Amino acid sequence: MRSARAGTGRSTRAALPAGPPPAAPAHGAADPADPAQPPDLADLADLADPADPVHPADPAVDPVEPEDPADPATAPRRAGAVWPVLAALGLLLAALAAGVCVGPAPIPVSQVAESLIAHLPWHPAEPVPQVDSAIVWLIRLPRVLLGALVGAMLAGGGAAYQGVFRNPLADPYLLGVAAGAGLGATAVIVTGGSFALLPVAAFGGAAFAVALTYSLGASAGRAGQGSGRSSSTASILLAGVAVAALLTAAQTYLQQARAQSLQVIYAWILGGLSGATWSQAGLILPYVAASAVALIAHRRLLDVLRVGESEAGTLGVNVARLRLTVVVAATLGTAAAVSVSGLIGFVGIIVPHAVRLTAGPSYRIVLPVSMLGGAAFLVLADIAARTVQPGTEVPIGVITAAVGAPFFLFVLRSRRARRASA
């Protein structure tokens, strides 16, 4: 009997095809042969272990393996990511130079350069006119640097929100940042408080609005999952709409109660950098830096999230923790930016879309290039705001809306045309 069973086992093994058996695809994972698969799904193959496609999500394990610098297969991808960053960096440097040199007061480029060099600690004092030096060093340079910080954070926050919520229309004000900041600033203005408290109140209002939105949306999402409904992403977005409407109503009530303050309130709502100082730039720099580092550190996980929440969980990503981390980081930087610049729209939408159209959809490129491109865009918009109408200054929110709305319509029309021709 033993020999018969052994012979049967040998015959069965001989009938099997050589090589390892094909692995069954994970539940919910995309089939590479499926024509409906997203075209960029192959780029995510290096983010998971192909030998273990059905391993459950483990929050203690980082599924992203670091790239081997010596691996020649990763060299083309690294080279493809470097050129967009270098191009955006060059655009930012050109915008910074133009922002310092261009303004209502005509100052020769040589005088601008001498004014900047004269403040270097190792350079001897240069005979620079005091008025020109004050305009360059105390007015233009802090304004340009503050505009770069605000633009980088608005664009980076918009790209992060679009990635974590998988919504191309998401912007930094999605979860009530604008409404909360506007309410805090309005409260300071109508109560006659010191304008030094305005950034603090705007920051606190924005942070409170997002915390309220996320707590309400996450709790509603958990309750919905228990009854068989979808994930908490939609609940968070709907909670953001409700919280923004509530805070906007409170802001409108305060405005109507103190009608004499409407001009100051609307000037802040439209956004501007006219009161930029070195202290304001130093105030938001730590928040912007911490937010930018956190967002860039999670850019590869946002690429995994592009295939879907359930698929990302199958690949080992803790989706809830990723969403919370990205939302907190983006909100922290956005609230800091809004607190000193007011509400500047469209930057968080048009810049990430422009980057995707020119450099591809991968967040390994979209996030850093959006930050550099957003900084350059807002600096150029500020140049237009202070030069397009001689003798006065146009609110920078008007400039960004005038550029952003046609661009957004162009993006929508282009997508519809590509879909119709497919």
Domain-embedded: residue 124: no
Enumerate residues 6+ apart whose C-beta is below 8 A from 121: none
Enumerate residues 6+ apart whose C-beta is below 8 A from 86: none
88 φ/ψ angles, rounded to the nearest 5 degrees: -65, -35
Per-residue pLDDT, averaged over 153-180, amounts to: 89
pLDDT confidence of residue 86: 93
Dist. CA 187–CA 110, nearest whole Å: 45
| pLDDT above 90 coverage of the chain, percent | 29
Domain-embedded: residue 162: yes
Per-residue pLDDT, averaged over 1-28, amounts to: 43
417 pLDDT band (50/70/90 cuts)? very low
Domain-embedded: residue 69: no
Per-residue pLDDT, averaged over 401-420, amounts to: 72
**Cβ distance 314 to 57 under 8 Å?**
yes
Q: Which of 133-142, 170-179, 246-255, 372-381 has the highest mean pLDDT?
A: 372-381
Higher pLDDT, 384 or 126: 384
pLDDT at 378 over 90: yes
Domain-embedded: residue 232: yes
pLDDT at 132 over 90: no
Look at the block and give the residue holding tokens 């400039």.
Answer: 399
* Cα 181 to Cα 76, 126, 178, 207, 229, distances in angstroms: 43, 44, 5, 8, 33
Which tokens sit at 293? 């580092």
Domain-embedded: residue 59: no
| CATH number of residue 289's parent domain | 1.10.3470.10
Enumerate residues 6+ apart whose C-beta is below 8 A from 280: 142, 146, 199, 340
pLDDT at 49 over 80: no
| From 24-38, 225-239, 306-320, the region with the lowest mean pLDDT | 24-38
Higher pLDDT, 268 or 17: 268
Q: What is the mean pLDDT of the chain?
A: 78
pLDDT confidence of residue 407: 84
Q: What pTM was computed for the model?
A: 0.76
Q: Tens of pLDDT along 76-115?
A: 555 567 889 999 999 999 999 999 999 888 888 888 888 8
Question: Structurally, how many domains does the chain consist of?
Answer: 1
Q: How many CA atoms, within 13 angstroms, populate the side-chain half-sphere of residue 112? A: 17
Domain-embedded: residue 87: no
Higher pLDDT, 128 or 56: 128
**Cβ distance 292 to 32 under 8 Å?**
no
The range of the structural domain enclosing residue 308 comes to 130-414
Domain-embedded: residue 5: no
Q: Which of 98-112, 118-132, 201-215, 366-380 has the highest mean pLDDT?
A: 366-380
The crossing angle, in degrees rounded to 10, of helices 347-359 and 396-421 is 40
**Cβ distance 369 to 355 under 8 Å?**
yes
Q: Tens of pLDDT along 89-99?
A: 999 999 999 99
pLDDT at 315 over 60: yes
pLDDT confidence of residue 368: 94
Domain-embedded: residue 212: yes
pLDDT at 65 over 80: no
pLDDT at 401 over 80: yes
Q: Tens of pLDDT along 285-309?
A: 999 999 999 999 999 999 998 888 8
Look at the block and give the residue holding tokens 């146009």.
Answer: 394
pLDDT confidence of residue 222: 65
Task: Report residue 100 CA to chain centroid gap.
Answer: 26
Which tokens sit at 45? 């193959």
pLDDT at 25 over 50: no
